[in-house]
Structure 1
Amino acid sequence: MAMTPNLRGALFMSLSMAGFTLNDSIVKLMTDDISVAQVMFLRGIIATVLIYIFAWRRGAIRPIRLLMDKWVALRVVGEVGGTLTFLTGLANVPIANAAAILQALPLAVTMGAALFLAEPVGWRRWLAILVGFSGVLLIIRPGMEGFSPYSLMIVGTVIFAAARDLATRKVDPAIPSLYLSTVTAGAVTVAGLLLIWPMGGWQPVDTAQLGLVAMAACLVLVGYQFIIMSMREGEISFVAPFRYTGFLWAVLMGYLMFGEVPDSFMIAGGAIVIGSGLFTLYRERVRSKQKPASRSAPRHSP
């Protein structure tokens, strides 16, 4: 039986999250021997070359002057900051904890859109945002035994990534997504190069490690490609919730590769964050259905 576009989109989204999570697992494994900055640089070289070739073949390369746009610059800063904070945190906390905190990103984007882009957000979604961030606090447990300051690095990732996503909304639509990906991948690579010596210097890399770097870079591309395919295949409201399968992949990889067993705080906090995110997606779907009718009906809070 043929799959519907929505089911294909859901499958592609799940595969995308698997690609990203496997990449994260490989990076976490490598940071035992080499610094986060060196990983950023080595993985970035391969990823940038591959993305550039893909963008060139698709005719997505544009003049360098387009990079002077302030929204493009903010997107680059968000990508670099998000990569650095995430990889630093990931090297020092269980991968499932990092993934659970990262699930708060859609909530942060919704909040940022309301605060900085004047997008309407009703009281129900504001409540969901507050509940979701309470789940993040439950995961990181500030002031309690088991608290790791490196968890705050993942919170920083959420902030940087939200700024990146909000800036992306403001970037000129004439600038292709593949060109933006090429630019940001290159910027992350340069940032990694500049930080290698401040973060401990260059460490020798053997053939096996280079193989892991190449695998991680390819998995990043797999993740990006499948996430694009998922959005083009199915309805966003149906496909988007499958983004949260990344949390399940992270729990599985954490157990299989690092022997990490999630504790009750992480499971409860992750469930709260994901539940809040799903409710926010549901409310956005309800609002999108109400928009045509709102032109002839009184406005009311979503």
Structure 2
Amino acid sequence: MTAPPDPPSPPPPTEAGDPGGTALPVPAGPDPAAHAQRMRLLGILLMCGAVACFACLDATAKFLGRHVDVIQVVWARYASAFVLALLVFNPLTRPGLLRTRRPGLQIGRSTLLLATTVLNFAALKYLQLDQALAILFSTPLMVAALAGPMLGERIGPRRWAAIVVGLVGVVIVLQPGVGAVHPAALLSMLSAVCAAFYAIATRVLSRFDTDETTLFYSNLVGVLLLTPVMPFVWTTPTDPLLIALMIGFGAFGSLGHFLLIVAHRHTPASILSPFSYSQILWTTILGFVVFGDIPNRWTIAGVTIVIASGLYLLHRERVRRRG
């Protein structure tokens, strides 16, 4: 038995008064350019949300550091982030999660991240949020300087000039010899140095391991190294606010990193990078609202120079890639 013939197709619709029976134009599909523009805008908003979470993380660390030991604050950040990470992915649901091709580098990178966190939180106990962040903004400058000898990347004279100018901005924030900034600023500087080596190690590991494996090791190593120290520094908080902040501490960091990952999924890193500097806005607002801190003229001048140098380095990177 054969299938019945297809019914005749209806005549195409025509506009009124069109004697030639010209078909109406078919509505076009979604505009790819408009869709790409929306995705870029979404990525920018997610990046701004990520750095806002990081600003809240620093503000919480500074607040907790006034009531409990800094090591306990860092442990709370790692422990809560580790628990949250286990809920999303863990070795039971992903058997190959702990498998790494560079175990020594994974442990070293995670230790550098831990050192960065400890030094930064210790500095925040004495510095204003905007001062500590202004110094940490020098990390991309150090990464650019280290990328030459460690990764074999060529650094031209213009990029070297931007690095030097940016470090001058950091010196302005530090105000050596003036005495207006607490000596803890040196802790922020050491934190930035550790963060630069951490970033280099992250670049190298991206060639061997997945992002999930690297993120899992970051939290795991921090918890394993800090937990044995806790009996010597532990102070049981009694204030409900402190307990809530310690429990939810890692949520700011975890949410920030999640937003960061999604933002880079929708938008190129070259477009997102300048918006990472919007963290100084959130940090300044939180510093004023929570701690009553007002940026001084040295910090404003220094952070302006550092950000300008970072943006110029980003511009030169774009030019180099196009070349």
1:114 to 148, 153, 158: 148
- Maintained 8 Å contact 2:128/2:293: yes
Hey, what does 1:203 align to over in structure 2? 235
Hey, what does 1:246 align to over in structure 2? 279
Residues 67 and 97 of structure 1: CA distance in aligned 2, closer, same or farther (over 3 Å): farther
> With structure 1 as the length reference, what TM-score do the two structures score?
0.89
- Maintained 8 Å contact 2:101/2:208: no
Q: By how many angstroms is 1:208 displaced?
A: 2.4
Residues 213 and 115 of structure 1: CA distance in aligned 2, closer, same or farther (over 3 Å): same
2:73 equivalent to 1:39: yes
Counterpart of 2:218, as a letter, is T
Farther off after superposition, 124-133 or 182-191: 182-191
Question: Structure 2 matches for 1:11-26, cutoff 5 A?
Answer: 11-26=45-60
Residues 114 and 203 of structure 1: CA distance in aligned 2, closer, same or farther (over 3 Å): same
- Maintained 8 Å contact 2:70/2:118: yes
Hey, what does 1:295 align to over in structure 2? none
Distance 2:92 2:289 in 1: 38
Aligned residues: 288
Distance 1:167 1:10 in 2: 26
Farther off after superposition, 26-35 or 44-53: 44-53
- Maintained 8 Å contact 1:48/1:185: yes
1:185 to 219, 222, 225: 219
> With structure 2 as the length reference, what TM-score do the two structures score?
0.84
- Maintained 8 Å contact 1:45/1:189: yes
Distance 2:255 2:92 in 1: 17
Residues 171 and 59 of structure 1: CA distance in aligned 2, closer, same or farther (over 3 Å): farther
2:321 to 265, 288, 296: 288
- Maintained 8 Å contact 1:22/1:216: no
Q: By how many angstroms is 1:254 displaced?
A: 0.5
The DSSP-based 3-state class of the residue aligned with 1:148 is coil
Distance 1:68 1:167 in 2: 11
- Maintained 8 Å contact 1:71/1:168: no
2:93 equivalent to 1:56: no
Distance 1:156 1:60 in 2: 36
Farther off after superposition, 211-220 or 21-30: 211-220
Question: Structure 2 matches for 1:144-155, cutoff 5 A?
Answer: 144-155=178-189
- Maintained 8 Å contact 1:102/1:154: yes
The DSSP-based 3-state class of the residue aligned with 1:66 is coil
2:151 equivalent to 1:102: no
Hey, what does 1:126 align to over in structure 2? 160
User: Larger RCO: Structure 1 or Structure 2 (Cα < 8 Å, ≥ 6 residues apart)?
Assistant: 1
- Maintained 8 Å contact 1:136/1:270: yes
Distance 2:263 2:94 in 1: 20
Runs (5+) with no aligned partner, structure 2: 1-33
What percent of counterpart residues are identical? 27
Q: By how many angstroms is 1:73 displaced?
A: 2.4
Hey, what does 2:198 align to over in structure 1? 164
Q: By how many angstroms is 1:213 displaced?
A: 1.6
Q: Hey, which of these two has a bigger chunk of helix by percent?
A: 1
Q: By how many angstroms is 1:231 displaced?
A: 1.0
Distance 1:175 1:25 in 2: 32
Runs (5+) with no aligned partner, structure 1: 291-302
Distance 1:61 1:194 in 2: 27
Q: By how many angstroms is 1:181 displaced?
A: 1.3
Q: By how many angstroms is 1:246 displaced?
A: 0.8
Q: By how many angstroms is 1:80 displaced?
A: 1.2
Hey, what does 2:105 align to over in structure 1? 71
CA RMSD of aligned residues (A): 2.1
Distance 2:58 2:236 in 1: 21
- Maintained 8 Å contact 1:83/1:188: no
Hey, what does 2:290 align to over in structure 1? 257
Residues 102 and 180 of structure 1: CA distance in aligned 2, closer, same or farther (over 3 Å): same
